[in-house]
A and B are shown apart, each in its own frame.
Chain A
Amino acid sequence: MNKQVAIIGAGIAGLEAASILDSMGFKVTLVEKAEHTGGHIQNWHQLFPDRRNATEVAQGIISKPLANVSTEFNREVTSIQPFAEKFIISAKDGWVFNADAVLITTGFELFDAKRKEEYGYGIYDHVITSAELETLFKKENGVTLRIGRTPSRIGLVHCVGSRDEKIGNIFCSKVCCVTAVKQAIELKELYPECEIYCLYMDLRMSGRHYEELYKQAQEEYSIQFIRGRLSEAAEDKSGKIIVKVEDTLLGRPLKMTMDMLVLMTGMVASAQTASICSSAGIQKDSDGFFKASDPHLYGNITGIPGIFLAGTCSGPKTISDTLSDARSAALAVQSYLSAEANN
């Protein structure tokens, strides 16, 4: 008899794990809160560091065979309760489901940039988020449409909602620095005459080929980098954005006027993390994401046997890291269910 696996969240981690567990012969049910699969990647235009078309990558994941996988849409899971070696999964709409093992792939949410009140997102017309910029990239000339003219200066603000204890997030979101560099290049390609500035605290080019992208941004695209964190943004009479920052390498405060300001919003734990943790009896880490029982040796395993983690639900990850994590989680699920079957 086939064991039933429930995967909570049909983003790229959930889909990747589903396809592998499916090929292993398990009955898999994907439970998705939205009305489509794919998650955040659907909104992205190009991926770092090679600027691969995001839709292509999403298609590559979505098109993997899912023979015995069923998907439940519009089901926002709020609790997972262990019961007699099974798990009872309940959604907000009252839907209830039983499974032999649960893989949590609830992913992340983008930091709500409105919470950085001093940057004026939601108030100033030309302050947007990195995610919105991706959407604009997807539409031709979207950026021009937004500000009504060809921009002559654009600023990208790193670490919005990340490395900021004032708003309660001490952690680094890992992907925003390289995303800023990638988006700066894309903007420069759209507007070769536009000056582009990245305002950063540290440039964390930690992944493979990131540093090369950074060098390319400087050398071929003349992107300028100013080390300093924005203290505030204001709007001038013409609706342009004035930013205040310290050029920390020169040791002097600096102000400059931008046509558009892009906030590199970080990742935060998804809203249902807390209720899932308390219902399932698994741990939430100090950063708000799910906690693995042993982050070094068993990154996919929670404190409750039969409940597993994959992807950004256990902390910020890149797409490639998320996919690797999902594959490793599938193996962990298989190993657990095989041992169960032998008992």
Chain B
Amino acid sequence: MKIEGKKLIWKEYQKEIATDDYFYARSCIRQNFFPGSEKAFTRILKDELGKNLYDSQHHTSCTGIGYHTDVVPFETTMTVVARQFSLMQEAGYSNYIASCITSFGLYTEIIETWKHFPETLEKTREYLFKATGREFSIPNNLAHASDIIYKFRNEIAAKAKFRLVDKETGCPLKVVEHIGCHYSKMFPHKGVGGAEFPYVLTGMIEAWGGEVVDYPERRHCCGFGFRQYAIQANRGFSISCSRKKFESMAPYEPDMIITNCPGCPMFLDRWQYALSEMEGQTYGKNGNGIPVFTYEEVAGLVLGYDPWDLGLQVHQVPAEPLLDKIGIPYNPENKFKGANGEDLGQPDAPNFLKFYKE
């Protein structure tokens, strides 16, 4: 594989990312799936990078899930999104960050729609004004939260307490990256690195000392997708997609998977447990799985944040083997304690997937 060829593509897909003063819109589901990720993001931006970030209490869902499952009409979605932009304007910001990939894709789609159909933009202004009395302006800069971490990957590397390196051998860790479909597959030029060879996560992995694994089914679906998981009868498609990826990446013995979508880490993580229970199959070494992370979690680990503050205890594939490999300290006793130190109880161990309890 020729890295120069990839670099040529990466050069073609660069986007402008604002350097400061952000309005941050959270995701509907990420705080349940990966409860420490968004908190880690705000902490990194404010405390580590000294950026001005506005974390709004008043924004709603972007309606993305409803829109993509044909429950919410596009006109309604545009009006709801217009309200988010109105909140941004009201707070005095013009750089919008979406935590969610679906939202980022939807905002991009809506802004493009308004660009090509000004009459639709006017209609949206009218709907929003009638419904709420609000006015809005389109963000000057729209970014996904992973774009921001990507932009400051070297600053984070400079402050890093740990690197994505095996502490015993000094070798870079082997990392699988997987980007969300709505990050750049709909609008390749809106994502760093484009759609076929995206660079947004690769850039972080490189900056933090790891080595990217490019395996044959890299571009295959992670197993998320609203129609696949929303209905129980369709979940066979979902788990089979994830399985196809695990089968393809396992021979490369990856140490971890990094993702930038709410859905990919959820399914790549949880389906490893389900597959182990259904088929007795695990994809890491010695009955371990391949731990799956959000990019915020990885940034947090690199910066030396406590793994349990990052929410790693809710992962179904335990992160401990990776923490040990890098040499990140953690207290097993605190794994299932709440923020106030209260014991939350320990879950039952899975039948096949190796589990780490106190």
Residues of A within 8 A of B (CB): 114, 117-118, 120-125, 232, 234-237, 239, 242
Contacts and interface: CB of A to CB of B under 8 A. Distances in A.
Contacts of B194: 117
B1 to A, nearest CB: 6
B5 interface: yes
Nearest to B195: A117
B196 interface: yes
A235 B8 contact: no
Interface in B333-349: none
Interface string B206-226: 000000001111110000000
Interface string B3-42: 0111011000000000000000000000000000000000
Contacts of B195: 117
B1 A235 contact: yes
Contacts of A237: 251-252
Given A117-B194, A117-B196, A117-B197, A234 B218 contact: yes
A273 B134 CA distance: 51
A237 B249 CA distance: 10
A236 B252 CA distance: 10
A120 B216 CA distance: 12
Interface string B245-270: 00000011000000000000000000
Contacts of B215: 234
B130 interface: no
Interface of B: 1-2, 4-6, 8-9, 194-197, 214-219, 251-252
B216 A235 contact: yes
A132 to B, nearest CB: 14
Given A117-B197, A237-B251, A122 B2 contact: yes
Residue among A121, A122, A242 with most chain B CB within 10 A? A122
Contacts of B2: 122-125
24 contacts: A114-B5, A114-B8, A114-B9, A117-B196, A118-B196, A121-B5, A122-B2, A123-B1, A123-B2, A123-B5, A123-B6, A123-B9, A124-B2, A125-B1, A232-B196, A232-B219, A234-B214, A234-B216, A234-B217, A234-B218, A235-B214, A237-B251, A237-B252, A239-B1
Contacts of B1: 123-125, 235, 239
A121 B5 CA distance: 8
B71 to A, nearest CB: 30
Contacts, number: 42
Contact of A117 (B4, B9, B214): B9
B216 A242 contact: yes
A243 to B, nearest CB: 10
Contacts of B197: 117, 123
Contacts of A117: 9, 194-197
A73 B275 CA distance: 67
A123 B252 CA distance: 19
A180 to B, nearest CB: 24
B214 to A, nearest CB: 7
Nearest to A242: B216
Contacts of B216: 234-236, 242
B219 to A, nearest CB: 6
Contacts of A236: 216
Residue among B5, B194, B252 with most chain A CB within 10 A? B5
Residue among A117, A125, A235, A242 with most chain B CB within 10 A? A117
Contacts of B218: 234
A114 B13 CA distance: 14
A232 B1 CA distance: 16
Given A118-B219, A239-B1, 17 more contacts: A114-B5, A114-B9, A117-B9, A118-B196, A122-B4, A123-B5, A123-B6, A123-B9, A124-B2, A232-B219, A234-B216, A234-B218, A234-B219, A235-B1, A235-B214, A237-B251, A237-B252
Contact of A122 (B5, B214, B217, B219): B5
Contacts of A118: 196, 219
Contacts of B6: 123
Contacts of A114: 5, 8-9
A8 B2 CA distance: 37
A151 to B, nearest CB: 18
Contacts of A235: 1, 214, 216
Contacts of B5: 114, 120-123
A91 to B, nearest CB: 29
Residue among A118, A122, A123, A124 with most chain B CB within 10 A? A123
A236 B217 CA distance: 9
Contacts of A125: 1-2
Nearest to B196: A117
